[in-house]
Homo-oligomer: A and B are copies of this chain.
Amino acid sequence: MPAPEAAVQYAKEHKNDFLEDLITLLRIPSVSTLPDHQGDMERAAAWISDRLKSMDFDNVRVMPTDRHPVVYGECLKAGKSAPTLLFYGHYDVQPADPLEEWKSDPFDPQIRGDDLFARGASDMKAQVVAHLSAAASMVHTSGLPINVKYMIEGEEEIGSPSLEKFIIANKDLLSCDICLNADCAILAPDTPSITYALRGLAYFEIRIQGPASDLHSGRFGGAIDNPALVLSELIAGMRDENGRITLPGFYDSVRDLSDDERAELSKLPTDDAWWQAQAGVKALHGERGYSAGERASARPTLDVNGLLSGFTGEGSKTVLPAKAMAKISMRLVSDQTPEQVHEGLIQYMKENAPPTITWEVEKLAGAPPAIVERDSVSIRAASKAFESVWGKRPLFTREGGTVPVVGMIQNLMGVDCLMMGFGLPDDNLHAPNEKQHLPNYYRGIETFIRFTHELAV
Q: Give me the interface of A with B, judged by CB distance under 8 Å.
A: 199, 201, 203, 210-213, 215-226, 228-229, 231-233, 235-239, 275-276, 278-287, 292-293, 295-297, 299-312, 315-321, 324-327, 329, 331, 354-358, 364-365, 399-402
- Are the CB atoms of B232 and A279 closer together than 8 Å? no
| Closest 8 A/B residue pairs (Cβ) | A218-B401, A212-B280, A228-B304, A236-B236, A225-B285, A222-B295, A222-B301, A223-B296
A324 partner residues in chain B, CB cutoff 8 A = 304, 307
- Are the CB atoms of A228 and B284 closer together than 8 Å? no
Contact partner, A236, options B237, B311, B356, Cβ 8 Å:
B237
13 inter-chain pairs at a CB distance below 8 angstroms, sorted by A residue, are: A218-B399, A222-B286, A223-B295, A223-B296, A225-B281, A225-B284, A225-B286, A228-B304, A228-B307, A229-B239, A305-B316, A307-B309, A312-B327
- Are the CB atoms of B292 and A316 closer together than 8 Å? no
Contact partner, A223, options B225, B233, B237, B275, Cβ 8 Å:
B275
Given A211-B280, A217-B331, 5 other A-B residues pairs in contact with their CB atoms under 8 A: A225-B286, A281-B356, A282-B356, A307-B324, A312-B327
A283 partner residues in chain B, CB cutoff 8 A = 225, 354-356
- Are the CB atoms of A354 and B285 closer together than 8 Å? yes
A213 partner residues in chain B, CB cutoff 8 A = 280
Please name the residue on chain B nearest to A313 by beta carbon.
B306
**Closest beta carbon of chain B to A371's beta carbon, Å:** 15
State A213–B356 Cα separation when bound (angstroms). Answer: 36
- Are the CB atoms of A223 and B364 closer together than 8 Å? no
A285 partner residues in chain B, CB cutoff 8 A = 224-225, 354, 356
Contact partner, A304, options B211, B282, B310, Cβ 8 Å:
B310
State A307–B284 Cα separation when bound (angstroms). Answer: 24
State A203–B318 Cα separation when bound (angstroms). Answer: 8
A356 partner residues in chain B, CB cutoff 8 A = 281-285
**Closest beta carbon of chain B to A226's beta carbon, Å:** 5
State A216–B430 Cα separation when bound (angstroms). Answer: 13
**Closest beta carbon of chain B to A230's beta carbon, Å:** 9
**Closest beta carbon of chain B to A302's beta carbon, Å:** 8
- Are the CB atoms of B303 and A308 closer together than 8 Å? no
- Are the CB atoms of A400 and B235 closer together than 8 Å? no
Please name the residue on chain B nearest to A363 by beta carbon.
B316
- Are the CB atoms of B236 and A233 closer together than 8 Å? yes
- Are the CB atoms of B315 and A306 closer together than 8 Å? no
State A365–B218 Cα separation when bound (angstroms). Answer: 14
A232 partner residues in chain B, CB cutoff 8 A = 231-233, 235-236, 304, 307
